[in-house]
Amino acid sequence: MAEAEVGDDVKGEDPTVNDLQKTAAEMFGMEAALFVPSGTMGNLIAVMAHCRDAPLAGVHATTVTTRPDGSFDLKQLESKIRHGYPDPHYPRSRLICVENTHNIQGGRVLPLHFLQDVRALADQHGLALHMDGARVMNAAVAQGVPVAAILQHVHTASVCLSKGLGAPVGSVLAGPQDFISRAVRCRKALGGGMRQAGIIAAAGKLSLQEMVGRLEEDHHNVKTFAQALIDCQPPLFAVDMAAVETNILRFRVEDPTLSPEEFCARMGQVGEGEEAALGQGIQVLMYPHVENSIRAVWHLGISPEDTQLAIQKMQFVASQHLKGKVETQ
């Protein structure tokens, strides 16, 4: 990053940014790409560029019910498409959006045949298909395919360079050349045009070229921790191992006397007697999540050794909770 050659990216003159965009487009199997500060901005730009008569807040969104594997029913999707345009009483359906991997469902990978079916439906109705690919590299590694094999089924995609890939900041929005030309204008309107952005683009390029293969380590660490939850005695946790596919883990505490909030609080602080029992204090950050579950995420900064420490901490918290229950009975 310190040695990056920089220029004015607003004018398209930052060579490192240009190189990153070219590298990303080739990797994604797209005509062009655009470097943006965040995945949120990348997705918003995509909506703006696709839905040209709806700048900023003028887009009306409607949702479908997500299945446990991150997919959804195509008949329900089709029922949401408005067919009344140009009748002035109806909005015009323009865009379908999907997320891969699916965050709320615990990092689930969208099946390729599902994406193919969604694309066929989009083409049938003349709609664009955009992917929020915040963790699409995790999906590619889990499926054992190049990322272009996934993105061939969508018109455009936003791909995060941070998260598991380890860059400090930034995402890449990719798609056809005319789409990216519109996206540049949208990025400017949102305040996303940056000067000398090559400093952060250099890290993003390294992420794409050097960090994708190591995502498999994150996936392995997640499965290791998930198995430890299952093996905890007496049983305290519920985990669906078939749903553990990438770097996100969702699990539940089966004991109603230990809430997700309380479990996460105990994991995040050094408890009484912990240093004596474990030889050190261990703090593990987890998050109380939807449907009374707990969310834990692995990334570049969490090693196999850290995972073993997290397992020790989980076992300590579980034993202390069970000990406390026995003492109060």
| In contact, 209 and 167? CB cutoff 8 Å | no
CATH number at residue 33: 3.40.640.10
- Is 157 inside any structural domain? yes
Q: Among 157, 179, 211, which residue terminates a domain?
A: 211
- Is 257 inside any structural domain? yes
Span 143-158, mean pLDDT? 98
Pairing of strands 32-36, 156-160: unpaired
- Give the H or E element holding residue 251: strand 248-253
Percent of the chain with pLDDT over 90: 81
Rounded to whole angstroms, the Cα distance separating 56 from 59 reads 7
Terminal-residue alpha carbon distance, the chain? 59
Query: Is the torsion defined by CA of 256, 262, 266, 271 positive or negative?
Result: negative
Please state the pTM of the whole predicted model.
Answer: 0.88
Task: Give whole-number Cα distances, 124 to 16, 64, 82, 154, in Å.
Answer: 39, 19, 13, 14
Residues 175 and 272 in one domain: no
Q: How much is the pLDDT for 328? A: 66
Residues 28 and 173 in one domain: yes
Rounded to whole angstroms, the Cα distance separating 144 from 146 reads 7
Residues 115 and 40 in one domain: yes
| In contact, 54 and 44? CB cutoff 8 Å | no
Which domain covers residue 128, as residue numbers?
Answer: 9-211
Q: Among 184, 211, 238, which residue terminates a domain?
A: 211
Task: Give whole-number Cα distances, 290 to 67, 103, 134, in Å.
Answer: 14, 11, 20
Average pLDDT, the chain: 93
Using 50, 70 and 90 to split pLDDT, how confident is the model at 53? low
Is the model more confident about 196 or about 269?
269
- Phi first, then psi, for residue 120 (nearest 5°) are -60, -40
Span 173-197, mean pLDDT? 93
For residue 72, give the 3-state DSSP assignment: strand
Rounded to whole angstroms, the Cα distance separating 140 from 150 reads 7
Q: How much is the pLDDT for 266? A: 96
Residues 86 and 234 in one domain: no
Using 50, 70 and 90 to split pLDDT, how confident is the model at 20? very high
Using 50, 70 and 90 to split pLDDT, how confident is the model at 218? very high
Rg (CA), the chain: 22
pLDDT exceeds cutoff 60 at 109: yes
Residues 258 and 153 in one domain: no
Q: How much is the pLDDT for 115? A: 98
> How many structural domains comprise the chain?
2
Q: Which two tokens stand for residue 315?
A: 């076992």
